[in-house]
């Protein structure tokens, strides 16, 4: 995780495959156990960031312009393909 020009970012290993957005569009709702597993993984990542002390200040994290929203991330991801 880092911070540059007022934006926080996370750098992660690229994993080839479908995004969660792709899976949801193709399959619709997920079975509860699968949805819980995915949410659990996301929460573990947030917990790790929090424990490292790298999470953005609360007043910045809640601001719409504090980082890229889902639409911008999706556009960036599609442009990179």
Q: What is the pTM of this model?
A: 0.52
Q: Return the DSSP state at 9.
A: E
pLDDT per residue as tens digits for the range 14-45: 889 999 899 999 999 999 999 999 999 989 98
Count CB neighbours of 54 within 10 A: 13
Smallest CA-to-CA distance from 77 within 26, 21, 3 is with 21
pLDDT per residue as tens digits for the range 37-80: 999 998 998 888 788 776 555 545 554 444 455 555 555 555 55
Residue 35 to residues 7, 44, 60, 69, Cα–Cα distance (Å): 29, 14, 28, 21
3-state helix, strand and coil shares in percent for the chain, rounded to the nearest 5: 60, 5, 35
Looking at residue 81, its pLDDT comes to 52
């Amino acid at each position: 995780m880092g911070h540059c020009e007022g934006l926080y970012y996370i750098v992660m290993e690229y994993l080839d495959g479908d995004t969660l957005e792709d899976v949801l569009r193709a399959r619709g709702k997920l079975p509860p156990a699968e949805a819980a597993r995915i949410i659990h993984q996301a929460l573990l990542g947030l917990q790790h960031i929090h424990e490292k002390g790298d999470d953005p200040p609360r007043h910045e994290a809640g601001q719409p312009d504090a980082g890229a929203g889902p639409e911008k991330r999706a556009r960036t991801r599609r442009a990179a393909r």
